[in-house]
Structure 1
């Protein structure tokens, strides 16, 4: 009896050790994102590829693993493999209408210049996950689409939502300043440009915009 207990414990410990040694796709993806942030682009790309490789292993074990599909899509976006991202997302959505996949698909379509389908998916994500992890990013992409398609009032609303939800990104404030300036809202444009500069004092386009408006 004691021998059986000892063997069972050894098997359990071995299994736990194996689980701990298994690479974590999400952790690898986040490591890549951190490397990107400090300019180590090639190291970041290698990390994203490792993340994808782990996701593929996870999917071979469980073809309905939506977490693996999600992280794989995020990593593919970072590697600028947009058509592959679209294909992966469409494959995943046949299994489940996972809102994370919907948002990733919207991003991939955006980078392909397919603004119609990008907007459709971003709005679907916003409706399905108003408190989702990437809700602020979704609003930013909606703002980008409306800005590019010259619908400035709608772009201003979307950018405003983005900076309200995530006020620490200078580019987003700069974009908001730009659309406010384009519709003649000078004072509020100045405020947005100032917020961009407060976050990033060396942001030359924002300082140039302020000089232009104050001239």
Structure 2
């Protein structure tokens, strides 16, 4: 936005020079305000020379610019709106109105101004790029990004956003092609190269991932780069290098289910079966959420509500395979006791509940009930 306004600022300064004799504007003073970024003072100074109802577009442009740069957004919007009414179809003015509305959170208005720009200039790259940023619908965002990218394929931000949009839709080849074009225009753009790695892996371009990744690692040891490289090395059957990379991630404490899985497979291929078994188990452990037991308890509760008691039992017991749970022990006790009428099983789970050290304060009612039921059921 600053680039758009630099020519206007220069025009404005020329204007003050021409009209200095009639308005007595001190050009040097105004320049000093600009140079020291005292935009609020500059706006106030300019306003002192013009009436509030002035129709002088050049003066209003300078005042609006200073208000915007000073963060006085409501005042700037009023000034730019006035300019737009006097001189419609001024693209820089419409851009600034879009920018101000965006900064104030009024995205609807910002999009309206951008759409006006597109109507005036169907080849305006910046308008399409900004419209994409303000659009929530994936299909619409994709169309705006495609148009912006067609107008400026070398723009790295647009190429990145478009590639990610394609990637989200699992359209990997178009995503790759967009990034490739932008990288050719800017071979040292490491952000684009890094973004391309997972897409290249998806397309089976493993050697390319390795070559690019090794180059990137010399600049910065990035975990995402190592992750993608590890997969590529696995698929080209360089299992030792795969293990080395994922061991580095493990040492950093940022391993995940995927890296552990590839380590298990790599150790298996290297015939180190002891390590393969260790990492296979770690993969399983990593894949299991700490909350899996609770999820199964929730599912079982739903089955209970539907009177599907056998399904509920199955879900509760499945939950226990991921760890002990007071909630499940207690609920199974109730289920066997009250719904399935199986006192022996009910006793088993009431006992398990009490043995699992339930919170004496928070669960005192459940504890008391379990003890009472154990007493009654034991008599039967």
State if a TM-score over 0.5 links the two structures: yes
Q: Give the C-alpha shift of residue 92 in structure 1.
A: 0.4
Aligned positions of 1:115-130 closer than 5 A: 115-130=206-221
Task: Check 1:60–1:178 CA distance in 2 against 1; reply closer, same or farther (3 A cut).
Answer: closer
2:163–2:179: 8 Å Cα contact kept in structure 1?
A: yes
> What do residues 113-135 of structure 1 show as CA deviations (whole Å, max 9, x unaligned)?
222222222223333343xxxx3
Report the CA distance shift for 1:185/1:66 in structure 2 as closer, same or farther (over 3 A): same
Could you tell me how far 1:178 is from its partner in structure 2?
Answer: 1.7
Specify every segment of 5 or more residues in structure 1 that has no aligned partner in the other structure, as ranges. Answer: 29-45, 203-215
Partners of 1:107 and 1:76 in 2: how far apart? 13
Q: TM-score w.r.t. structure 1 length?
A: 0.65
How far is the alpha carbon of 1:173 from its aligned partner?
1.1
Change in Cα spacing, 1:201 to 1:127, as seen in structure 2 (3 Å) is same
Partner of 1:100: 191
Provide the residue aligned with 1:16 in structure 2: 100
Question: Does structure 2 retain, via aligned residues, the 8 Å contact 1:136–1:166?
Answer: no
> Residue 142 of structure 1 contacts residue 155 of structure 1 at CA under 8 Å; is this kept in 2?
yes
2:205 to 89, 93, 114: 114
Q: Structure 1 residues 26, 108: closer, same or farther in 2, change over 3 A?
A: farther
1:23-62 equivalence runs, <5 A? 25=133, 47=138, 49-56=139-146, 59=149
Bigger Rg, structure 1 or 2: 2
Measured after TM superposition, the shift of residue 61 of structure 1 is 7.5
Q: Does 1:2 align with 2:93?
A: no
Q: 1:95: how far off?
A: 2.5
Deviation (angstroms), 1:70: 1.3
The 2-side partners of 1:115 and 1:67 are apart by: 25
1:154 to 219, 241, 259: 241
Taking a change above 3 Å as real, the CA distance of residues 179 and 8 of structure 1, as seen in their structure-2 partners, is: closer
1:173-212 alignment to 2 at 5 Å? 173-201=260-288
Cα 1:75–1:198 change in 2 (3 A) is same
- The counterpart of 1:68, out of the listed 131, 139, 158, is 158
Corresponding residue of 2:68: none
Higher-RCO chain (CA-CA 8 Å, sequence separation at least 6): 1
**In 2, distance between residues paired with 1:170 and 1:7?**
54
State the TM-score, normalized to the length of structure 2.
Answer: 0.40
In the aligned structure 1, how far is the partner of 2:274 from the partner of 2:135?
Answer: 43
Distance 2:197 2:147 in 1: 25
Is the 2:206–2:233 contact (alpha carbons within 8 Å) kept by the matching residues of 1? no
Q: d(CA) in 2 for partners of 1:159 and 1:124?
A: 18
What SS class does the counterpart of residue 167 from structure 1 fall into?
Answer: coil
Q: Report the RMSD for the aligned CA atoms in angstroms.
A: 3.4
